[in-house]
Amino acid sequence: MPVERFTEVLDDLRAKILDGSYPVDEFLPHTEQLKESYGVSAAVITRAMQGLKAEGLIWRVANRGMMVLQPPVCVGVPVAIAPHYEHQNWGEACHRARVTGRFQEDSRIRAGAANDLLARLFDLNEGDPIVWWSRIAVIGERTAVFRDRVWYPKSIFGDVPSNALTPEAFDVALSRINPNTSNADLTTRVRPCTDKEAKELKMSEGSPVYDITRTTHDEEGRIYELLRRVANPLRFHIRDRGVPLSSS
């Protein structure tokens, strides 16, 4: 495979995506058309597609072909943030990056019994009620940046029945907790994405992702939220400012 032809095809396709010749959410021409257009083999086109996918510019849609994604813009997002400010926080981060963004909330609020790990984390008895749900942060129409899963002890919502809990009810309950007397513990690692995460975040299989864990404590030191965030490093970086220095 002539390297110069592969580079030429990759560079030309990339340029046409970035200048809008191939619009976001539309599909690239199929392999046979591209072979004829560039006068190259299918192997060259396949390798170019792999390169564009690794750069976060395209994504394969089953039975449709390669869809053009929003070109990667890295959004700086504070993570040490009070939970009920997450929507405002994401909106402001997108505004700074000059992109439009929103959360796709899972409308299904799940309730269940705390396992041993969650019981110890929330200082509960094993089997005590907990609730959890998930959300995906997107830019543009549907380009995913990160996926959150969040867990809470049911007790912070008082007498509200589990089947009456909504994301709005979470916001109301969490807004009663004073962020000025709360604190968070954060851990971040980089690991290969799972196949499911690759599909959710429209990444190449096995690409690195940020795996972020945040536990949020109230003024008495009790943990009232566990957040797990998996983020695409091409589109996300942590942007916490004014964090007090520590000697430990």
Q: In the CATH hierarchy, which fold is given to the domain comprising 3-68?
A: Arc Repressor Mutant, subunit A (1.10.10)
Whether the CB-CB separation of 151 and 131 falls below 8 Å is answered with yes
Q: What is the pTM of this model?
A: 0.85
Domain span(s) for CATH 3.40.1410.10 in the chain? 75-238
Phi, psi of 141 (to 5 degrees): -80, -40
How big is the CA angle at 17 (ends 239 and 1), to the nearest 5 degrees? 110
pLDDT score, position 214: 96
List per-residue pLDDT tens for the chain, 248 residues long. 455 788 999 999 999 999 999 999 999 999 999 999 999 999 999 999 999 998 999 999 988 999 999 888 899 999 988 888 898 999 999 999 999 999 998 878 889 999 999 999 999 999 999 999 899 999 988 889 999 999 999 988 888 887 778 777 777 778 777 878 888 999 999 999 999 999 999 998 899 999 999 999 988 889 999 999 999 999 999 988 877 776 65
C-alpha distance across the termini of the chain, in Å: 54
Contacts of 220 (CB under 8 A, 6+ apart): none
DSSP 52: H
Domain span(s) for CATH 1.10.10.10 in the chain? 3-68
Q: Which CATH number fits domain 75-238: 3.90.110.10, 3.30.70.3280, 3.40.1410.10, 3.40.50.2300?
A: 3.40.1410.10
pLDDT score, position 45: 94
Whether the CB-CB separation of 209 and 193 falls below 8 Å is answered with yes
